[in-house]
Amino acid sequence: MPTYRVYYAEREPVEATATPSERLARLGRTDKAELKETEWEDEVEGDSQVEALDAFFRNHVPDRTRVQWVDDEGRGHSLGGTEDFDPDKTYVWVENDRPMEFQGIDEATPGMVTCPLCNGHGEVEEALAAEFHEVWDEEESEDEEGEDDESRADVQG
C-alpha cells in the first residue's frame, strides 16, 4: 500500500505567546492579529490520495463534521456525509484549540524522507538526512557551548 505525506499548518495567534507588556502595547490596534505558523507533515497509508486523506483526518478530527473546505472567496463549507476528500481543496479544522489548515499531499518514495535542508519541499535518502541531522545537532551543541562561555565572560566582566 502506498505511503503519502500530508502537509498541514497550525496557526496560533502571536498574542498567545506575547508577554503581558507586549499584549498591553497592542491594545486598541485595529489591524488583524498576527499569526505564528508551524508546518507539520504526517505519513499515512492509503490506496489513493483520497483514502490517505480520509485516514489522516480520522487521526486528527473526532468526526467529519468538524472539517470544512474553503472556497476561493475564503468561505468555509461543511462536508457532505458521504463526500470524499479532494486533495485539491483547502480544508480547515480545529485541533487542540488551534486552527489547522491542510496544505497538500504527495506520494512518498520508498526509502526516501523529507529533505531537512529544503524545508520539506523535496526528498532525499534516509542516510543523507541522518548525516545532515548528525552534523546539524553537533553544530547546535557547539553553538550552545559557545554561548555559555560568552555569557559567563560577560558576568565575570
Q: What is the pLDDT of residues 97-137, one digit of tens each?
A: 889 999 999 888 766 666 666 655 666 666 776 777 687 77
SS3 139: helix
- Across the chain, what does the average pLDDT equal? 79
Residues 84 and 52: their CA atoms lie apart, in Å, by 11
Residues 98 and 140 in one domain: no
Residues 145 and 101 in one domain: no
pLDDT, average across residues 92-100: 91
Q: Output b/e per residue, 78-114; b: 16+ Cβ within 10 A.
A: ebeeeeebebeebbbbeeeeeebbbeebbebeeeebb
Give me 93's grid cell. 479544522
Residues 40 and 96 in one domain: yes
Enclosing domain of residue 148: 110-157
Task: Determine the length of the chain.
Answer: 157
Residues 90 and 146 in one domain: no
Residues 9 and 21 in one domain: yes
- DSSP helix, strand, coil percent of the chain (3-state; round to 5): 35, 30, 30
Residues 27 and 76 in one domain: yes
- The verdict on pTM exceeding 0.85 is no
Instruction: Quote the radius of gyration of the chain (alpha carbons, Å).
Output: 21
SS3 101: strand
Residues 156 and 89 in one domain: no
Residues 84 and 141 in one domain: no
Number of domains in the chain: 2
Residues 121 and 104 in one domain: no
pLDDT, average across residues 44-49: 94
